[in-house]
Structure 1
Amino acid sequence: MSALFSPITIQGVTLKNRIVMSPMCMYSCMDEDGILTDWHRTHYISRAVGQVGLIMLEASAVTPQGRISNQDLGIWGDEHIEGLKELVTELKKQGSKTSIQLAHAGRKAEVDGDIIAPSAIAFSEKYKTPQEMTKDMIKETVQAFVDAAGRAKKAGFDVIEIHGAHGYLINQFLSPLTNHRTDEYGKTKEGRYLFLQQIIDGIKEVWSGPLFVRISAEEYAEGGNHVDDYVEYAKHMKEQGVHLIDCSSGAVVNVPLNLYPGYQVPLADQIKKEAGIATGAVGAITTGLQAEEILQNERADLIFIARQLLKDPYWARTAAKELEVELEAPIQYSRVW
């Protein structure tokens, strides 16, 4: 039996297969209001028709200030719920489970006005220098994540993912490269974890479903975090009730990456085994055979597919044919599937 096309149940939610549409920003909100557009509907529903087990919406900003760009999807206000709820309903009609990634860009925000970060260090000379967050700002931002989780629940999502990777705000707190604070939110590994800890605790008060966290498990820079550090963080997250660690890497500081097929899979493998928590593998996974090997050897529990799903909305069908698996088709396509 194919591991890729076997179901998995996480915190009471059963995915029909192990394929996850990885969150990928579309930068397609037209009026800088973060409201879902027709493009988003077409983009996500087509992948659900293609039989992806879990559709994860792109990074959705918990505050207007926390957007990567003015065209980012938002979940900072109740006005966002209606469109998200409609999309969730349509995705579930196709048999997919649904998720949204809650995000704040921090010092990597490219929006008008002041931007914020744990420390006043710009990402590069092309970016604005952020304002160092006060403790009141930290408290308000934690609450923004919690409020966004409440809206995700009202919209009917099955899974929530916290974006703690790729050099965005949570990652900026976690990394000694970007967090030079001298108060309780800095100085030590435990201090740098406190911001994420408070976000997880707050979300758990309003959300009882599956909770994932995306991390940059390797920062590829001297003085930064490495996978051994994230094993320890993952243990803390597990204790707090996180159900899966989505293991990406990089983008905390601007360093070149050595990319090759499955280059991040060892990170998911090590965290899964050493922290004793389910993981998702992501990054340059392009074929069904490659995904199958990862799962059969218990190197991860879910396969997050990004660029391949942009190239081929029916990647699940492509992988099934490669693995000689009979994949049920939407009835409208049954003649040619």
Structure 2
Amino acid sequence: MSNRIVVKNQRNDYLPQHLTKVLVISLILLVVCIAASLAFGSRTVGWNGLIDGLFYPEVDSYDASVVRQRISRTIFSLFCGVALGVSGALMQAVTRNPIADPSILGVNTGASLFVVSGIAFFHITTANQYIWFALAGAVITAIFVFGIGSMGRGGATPLKLVLAGAATTAALSSLVMAIMIPKSSVMDQFRFWQVGSVGSASWHSISTFLPFLIIGLAAGIISASALNALALGDEVATGLGVRTGVWRLVAAFAGVLLCGATTALAGPIGFVGLLATHVIRLVLGGDQRFIIPISAVTGAIILTFSDVIGRLLGSPGELEVGVVTAFTGAPILIILAMKAKVRAL
């Protein structure tokens, strides 16, 4: 008997047994991470300052002002975590690869190459310019990696996609360095962006990012049922009336859109989507109707918590969140690869 017991509701939908517990725990952790993000930093704010900053705008104390200044950063980190969590879930579902992630498949590096090219040759400086260059790089790189991974016998197997992504990442990273090193001004502008950070968050960057987040989330959630059918194989999915090519394209577009937009504004932050989706799949199973939305919450928790850890470890400065996620994510990736042996989903 499967260890994933399901119960049937009145509409004949099957719900994972632990869904309610996961939702409650996730929401509690999310609230804790939000409070920690507002309270901790170069200056630690107490409970009274936190309450005053959030609910009493007439209070003009220093602690309340610090909390208000951190609100935009906290919201931005939540949004970026949501986008990366959903992007990881979608990429794993589309490629049927349990260790797929924007950073592993080279999508982040493709976005980075286009951004550094935009800085060096087109003198881009604004968030709106960054986001379009990053999206173009993410889309082109995703198509290239999937095309390379699809060559040869067996098509796009999980192992071939990972190898194609690793090779593409190495090649594009070399191009990034080749463009950046000769130009010191480009290096200065790019190096802070490259490590991945939510420290430069502003209300303008949030408003720029929000439309892409909404479109990507909507497309991902709409494609969830079709992705469940695709997991059974293209022939079975077609027999069930699913237009496999269309829905695979929709899901891939949503994943790349979310990843590219996040990379443009926060830099290439890796491993969040991988970790968020794996945690949820271990607990709830493989139903994308639950994996996608709850991966969004889990991604927000992971990224916001990592940002808090970076601030605490680097105090009185801060350790960039991309460094924290890479430091924790790389060993976990190795363990997952060894245990899963890169099996298809």
Q: TM-score, normalised by structure 1?
A: 0.26
Kindly indicate which of the two structures has a greater share of residues assigned to helix.
2
Bigger Rg over Cα: 2
Q: TM-score, normalised by structure 2?
A: 0.25
Higher relative contact order (CA 8 A, sep 6+): 2
